[in-house]
Structures are given as structure tokens and as C-alpha cells.
Chain A
Amino acid sequence: MSTTTLKVTIDQREIEARPGETVLQAARRYGIDIPHFCYHDKLSITGSSRICLVKVNNLPKLQPACNLAVAPDMVVETGNEQVKRAREDVLQFILVNHPVDCGICDKAGECRLQDYQHQYGPAQSISRDPKQHKRKLHELGPRIVLDNERCILCSRCVRFTREISKSDALGIVERGNHSYVEAQTPGQFNDPYSDNVIELCPTGALLSREFMYKCRVWFLQPVRSVCTGCARGCSIKSWRRMNVRQQHMPGAAAGNLAYRTTVFENSAINGPWLCNKGYDQHTWMARARIAQPLIAGKPASVGDALAATGRLLAAAKNPAVLVSTHASNEELDVLQSLLGGVPAYPHRDCVPVEGEVIEDNLLIRADKNPNRRGVVERFGEKPFDTAAGHDLVVVWGEVSGPLPFDGVDWIHLTPFGTPTASPAAIVLPISNTYERHGTFTNFEGKLNVFEPVLEKPAQVQHAADVFRSLAS
């Protein structure tokens, strides 16, 4: 890569552009906003929306900034009368058949078209034509519906399936104003990364069936979190109700609820993409959980359960710990400092569920636990030693496969599960990733941080607190 820069003037401002960069990219680095619909950093350039037209070197014709490479001494104007007029015209053309139904559109509030129309659009349309009606609420696949009236045919979704997920699942069929996006097999848009197109869509054309009509986005606030779906540990935004609105919600639980998951762009780990399992993180986190500690299957108070656990541990001659691979590094550190010679082995909290993509070349990893690397770094990767004669095992984490021991008393610290699925001597419900903060180390050794999204129920303990009280 050449280190030389080019002098380019954008809106009377001299900037240093990098060779090979486009005008749009250079301008953005200097905080000059050039509106764009079809352009996306990670997708090929089509230059089809024409909203990014700018005036270059006083040429009579406007040029698309997204496809124009910077050249030495280029003079670009992004806000003169001709450019403003062209933007107004493009928005006028896009909106001539757009239903402008922002009031019932899930995208409202984070819609590019809405933003640009407010910022650059004409006050009033010159159209007096009735709107052309197109297919609405068309089922592209089991997860996504398409509103053709809102679609501006920017082809971002199509290019995503061709260039990123490589499923070629979407295409634009027909020609001209009749063209529309369709799945290769209608109704079968089953790409494991399909939900990315919802976020890619600059308008409300592609909608999540799961989130549809659930909540206006301005009542939600994003919290940085990490997907626990696999060892990649993608950064996500978990969207919860804004605190100030909680009081208006019907039902007490509604305020303490994650409504949807979107990607948190993290170039070190997942870039701007996320798989469908990641987009389902909030439903995954809303699985059934044990509400109260159990002693021999009977509900007990937290104090009693902790005391009973302490007694069992004191009586054990050769205890061992299976360490959760969903635990944060901070919790692992607490355990490590308190362990005092008790052998610990990595636990496999989650195994692939039926029908799940095991592994691919984009994001999905075969190991379905986010912090195995953190556990291995602290406790080694030796599997549970059945010959060591352990007489008590503390199983930290969910149990989704057969346990490596049999006929041995065990204590279960679990964020999820049902009482019948957990026949341990003592069951202690612990907090899940949504209820604490910490870090995970992904399979590449990269640290990723997550913050608490929701409040934990009263009877649920943080695992670190359980260890501390057992140690004292």
C-alpha cells in the first residue's frame, strides 16, 4: 500500500485522500456526508440509486460519488444547487410510488429514506398521480417478509446473498418499474445469514417477522453484548425498552425484555455481519429457566441452598468442577482464585441443535460456546477424568448433552433449564449473559466485552457471588 495521499478539494475544504479511495469514502472520513442508498462498504458498487451524485471539476454531468475514484487536484462540490436539485429529483422519483406509510413501518426512526427525505428532499411532491400498488407482506422466507411498495431496488440484499453469504438466494426479476426482489425459490429464503438483509435494507421493505409490529424503535435502546451462539463471539446490540418508557408498559415483565438483536459492527471479529442465530440471541436468552434454588428437587431459599452446597463440599473427599464455557473471564478469574487445588475441567454447555449450521467460512464455528478459549487458558483443556474417582462434581453451566460421569453426586449452577432436566442434588440458578457484564475470549483469542441488558430475577445469583460465599 502506498503511503502517499492525494490533495482533493471537497466543498472548498482541502482534504488528503488515499489513492484508490472513492470520493464518498474520502468525504466521509472528513465528516462530509454524501447521502447514499445502494453503496455499502462491504458490497460491490452498482451506483444505481443516484442519490450520491456530486459535481466534479465543473463537469456538466454530475458523477456518482460512490463509484468515483479520487484523482489529484479533484474539486468536488456536494451541496451546490445542481447537486441539491438532483437529490431532490431522485427522492421525488423514489417516493412517487412509495406508500410513505412510516406510521406503520417498523423501519421508521432508523430509515435512510426517511432521514434523507427530511434532510435533502423537497417539501412537497409534484406528483398528482395515484400510487402504483405492488405486492405487500410477501413472504420471502420463514423469517423475512418483503414490502415491494417500499422497496427502492438498491439491490443491497441481492448483492449480500451473492457476495457475502454466497447463497445466491435473492435476485431481482422482471424489468424497469415492474422489477422486484424475489427469492430463488419463492418463499424459501433460507440463507443462514438472511437476517442481515433486514439491516442492509435502507428502507422498510425487508422486515423481520419476529420483530414485526412489536415496538417502535425509538422506545428501544441498544446495549452492547456478545452473541453466545458459537466460539466466534460476534458483537451484537441487544435492544431493550428505554427506562423512561418502562412505566407505561403493560405488565411488569415487559420493561425487562429484550426486543430484538442487531449487529454491532466490529471489524476485528464479525465486521458488519451476524448469522441468524445471532439475530435470535434475545429469544435464545428468553428460554425457560429455573426460578428458584432446588434441594433434591424441592424449592428452597438461596441461603439454604448455599448452606447445603457448603456442607456437601466440606464432606466431599475428592470434588471437581466442570467449568462453564459461557462464563465470563472475570467469573473464571474468581473461580480460579478460590479453587485451591480442586481439579477443574472445561464443560461443554451447548451442543449444536438439530438443523443448525455446524460451521462455515464466514462466521459460524463448530464450537457452540463463546468462551471455551478463556476456560482453556485458565484451567487447561483436559477432559473430565473419570478415573480420578471424584465423589462430588460442581457442574457450572447448562447441561445439553450426556454428563461425563455417572452415579456421582453433583451440584448444578445453571442459567437455563427446567427442574426435571436437572436432577442434581442441588440446583442453583445463576445469571445469564444478558444479566451481567464481562468479557469473552473468542476462538482467535480476541477479547469482546458485553454489558448487562436486563435485570436478573431476585432468586438468581451471579456465579461469582456463589463461589465467593461458598469460599467464605
Chain B
Amino acid sequence: MSGPVFMNFPITTTSHSLSEYRARGGYAALAQALREMTPAQVGAQAKASGLQGRGGAGFQTGLKWEFVSKEAPVVYLCCNIDEGEPGTFKDRWILEHSPHQLLEGMLFASYALRVRHAFAYIRGEFDLPLRRLEGALAEARAAGIVGENILGSGFSCDIVVHRGAGAYVCGEESSLINSLEGKKGFPRNKPPFPAVRGLYQRPTVVNNVETLATVPWIMANGAAPYAALGARKTPGTRLFGVSGHVASPGLFEKPTGYPLAQLIYQDAGGVLGGRKLKAVIPGGSSTPILKAAEIEGVTLDQESMGKAGSMVGSGAVIVIAEGTCMVRLLQVLSRFYAHESCGQCTPCREGTDWMNRILERIVAGKGSAADLATLTRLPTGIMGNTVCALGDAASMPVVSFIKKFGDEFAYYVAHGRSLHDGRLAP
């Protein structure tokens, strides 16, 4: 495990502590920037690095910061630690092993945006990450790094940790804001975007953990070296979590533009038991699936992945071996989205549940060709018509699975059982 931005130190029982983070050079860039740089310069450097949001949508971070009005009296920053996309476990690694890196990134962002109170919204299921984050925060507060007059610079910023209550939809920025405000985690209609009216009706920036934790490296090493890493249009390194039917699943820091096949076959040790690869879900469960043949030459950046018809998303690569029943797999995904739909808007609330019930029926061997037709039809009524992207996220797998593995679905409804007997093919 190695990489320039995150995986640049050996993990020990104390490697997450403040003293070791400082020994690795942590907070030095912050101290220097607070003394020598203006907030606008910090923002400009983040923009020049070409850093993109790592939560899934891949929006330019510097640009997101720029949308916040310079005249706004109060601005909030929220760090989105509601890592809930199935297959994703990168933010967890950062919190468990390098929580100070995130805090430093949050302070950089707060300085650039003139934020007095920043919030860390952590998902309710995270236990060790929460303890590590709170421990790091206590250390940083005691050392004068968080709070009043940070490192004697005159800049003050408090970081507040808020624990979510276990809703996938709260990873969506506006429902995260609602949840922070103590309301039900319902996404808001956009516009207005959070950068205009967010938390407590103030301009708010919501950034992913990995995005913010990358900022200290950019500030320490400069925007140009970061922009030189990885693919030209979407530079940097990313944490890719490989899971599923692979020999050695895990988290790998790779520059963008890294070949997907190499990540699976070399870094993750290839498909489990030397089996054939059937398909890959390349960026978290809501991204369209790619067949084995389609990953040839695909690299892990938006451009290449977009051409292949999918997305890098949250960098969660789910590997599926030959012999897996795609109908059952889709039903598992579909059950997740039906369970996690917040129930605010009609198409998603009714649609995700409807799709799930149809899939349940198909898997139970009671499906029909008409069910398959309905299943193909329903996503078209959901996608684009909902308040947030959960409706799209729930629909994309259904569309891509049926498109690419239609024969398996047809076999299942025709014979009332799976084309595969449940064991992985030899």
C-alpha cells in the first residue's frame, strides 16, 4: 500500500495521533498558510490544482468554493462523512488512519471560505472512525489547532461533529444539511443550491472527506505538482476500494487514469479462485455495470469511464465473477434503494419499492415477461423526475443490468429459476 497523498506512512497503533501526524509534516503547511496566504490565495491554489469532488459527482472543488458569495457574513462548511454508497470504504480509512489530515483540510477550506463553524457529519454506523475523529479533534483543540486563534494566526474556527442516524440519503448534501438542522433527512429542491442557501439558510459548502483530506497535500506541495499527477483533465490520486470476487480486496491509492484491469488483476490479485471476470460495477452500486469485455483499456478517470458508459463515482470497484446470478444481484441492490428511499417525492418512493417487489417476484420464480417489461419501463419514469439523485441511483443499475444481461433475466422469468445454480463457475 503506497501513494503520495494518503498512503504515505506505515500504519501503526499510534500513526493516527497528532504527534505522529506532525512528525510527518502535518499542520506545517497550515501554519505557514495562515501566516502568509490570504483566503483568496488558498482558494485559488485549490482551484489551480484541478481537484475534483471525490464523493461521486466529481464537481470541481475550487469552483464550488468560488460560488460562495464573498460578501456573505456567515458561511458554513460541512464535511460529508456519510459514506454510504455500497462498496465504498475510503473515507473510513482516512478517518481511522489519518484523521488529522481531514481536520487540516477542513481548516484550509474554512480559511479559504472564511468559515467560523465547520461541521463534520458522520454516519451513524461508523464507530472507530467516530472515536478516531473525536480523539483527533480533542488533540487538535488542546494543541490550539482548532478553536480560537488557530496557531496564533488570529483565525478562529470550530469543528463540530454531528452523528447521523443511519440514512443513506443523508449523504446527499441538502438532506445532510436538513439532518444537521435537526430535521428529517429529506433532500431539498435545487435551486437554491447550498452555496447560495444551505445550512441555516446561509451559504454552505459540503465536501467529501477525501476531497478535503487532499487539500493539505496541495497546499504543502503546490497546485502544479498535484495537477501533474494522474490523468490530465481530472488530476490527482484517488482511493479505490476494490471489493467483491477478488483475491485480495482492499483500498488502493492510485493516480487517476490508472487502468481498471490492472487494479483488478494486479493490485487486487485478480478474480477470486482464478475464475473468469463477469462484470464490474466501477464506482459504487449506483453506477452502470460494465461487462468483462467492456473494461478493456478503460482507465480510472471520468473521461475514459464516461466513454465506456459508466462513472468513476465514489471509486468503489465491485468485481463480479463468472457464475454470479445477475438477477439476484440486482435484487440485492434494488432492495437497498427501496429501503433507503426517503419517501419524500413520489417517483422514488413508489418506484424503488415497485421495482424491488417486481424483482422479488422474479427471484421467487413467479415473474413473467410482462414484469420484465414493467421493470424496463419504470426507471424512465423515475430518472430525472425526482428531488435528488437517489431516484437516478436506484434506476441506473436496473437499466444497465437488464440492458447487458437481458438474457439472464429472460431465462429467469421463462424458467422460474436462475441461469446459474448459485455456485461460482469453475
Contact = CB atoms under 8 A, between A and B. Distances in A.
B370 to A, nearest CB: 6
A46 B386 CA distance: 12
A50 to B, nearest CB: 5
A43 interface: no
Interface string B369-413: 011011001001110111100000000000000000000000000
A439 to B, nearest CB: 44
A177 B343 contact: yes
Interface in A47-74: 47-51, 53, 60-62, 64, 67
Contacts of A47: 189, 345, 387
B387 A129 contact: no
Given A62-B384, A128-B370, A50 B346 contact: yes
Nearest to A88: B381
B166 to A, nearest CB: 10
A211 B370 CA distance: 43
A93 B350 contact: yes
A49 B345 contact: yes
Contacts, number: 99
A192 to B, nearest CB: 25
A212 interface: no
B298 interface: no
B374 to A, nearest CB: 5
Contacts of B167: 175
Interface in A17-56: 45-51, 53
A152 B189 CA distance: 19
A92 B381 contact: yes
A152 B349 CA distance: 10
A97 B350 contact: yes
B387 to A, nearest CB: 6
Given A61-B384, A93-B381, A176 B342 contact: yes
A104 interface: no
Contact of A89 (B340, B342, B343, B385): B385
A86 B385 contact: yes
A126 interface: yes
Nearest to A171: B184
B347 A176 contact: no
A158 to B, nearest CB: 10
Interface in B324-362: 338-347, 349-354, 357-358, 361
Contact of A96 (B338, B354, B380): B354
A172 B358 CA distance: 26
Contacts of B385: 50, 53, 62, 86, 89-90
A248 interface: no
B345 A48 contact: yes
A172 B346 contact: no
A152 B346 contact: yes
Given A92-B381, A176-B339, A176-B343, A153 B349 contact: yes
A50 B343 contact: no
Given A86-B385, A128-B371, A177 B349 contact: yes
Contact of A127 (B184, B352, B354): B354
B346 A129 contact: no
A89 B345 contact: no
Interface of B: 167, 184, 186, 189, 338-347, 349-354, 357-358, 361, 368, 370-371, 373-374, 377, 380-382, 384-387
Interface of A: 45-51, 53, 60-62, 64, 67, 85-86, 89-90, 92-94, 96-97, 126-129, 132, 152-153, 172, 174-179
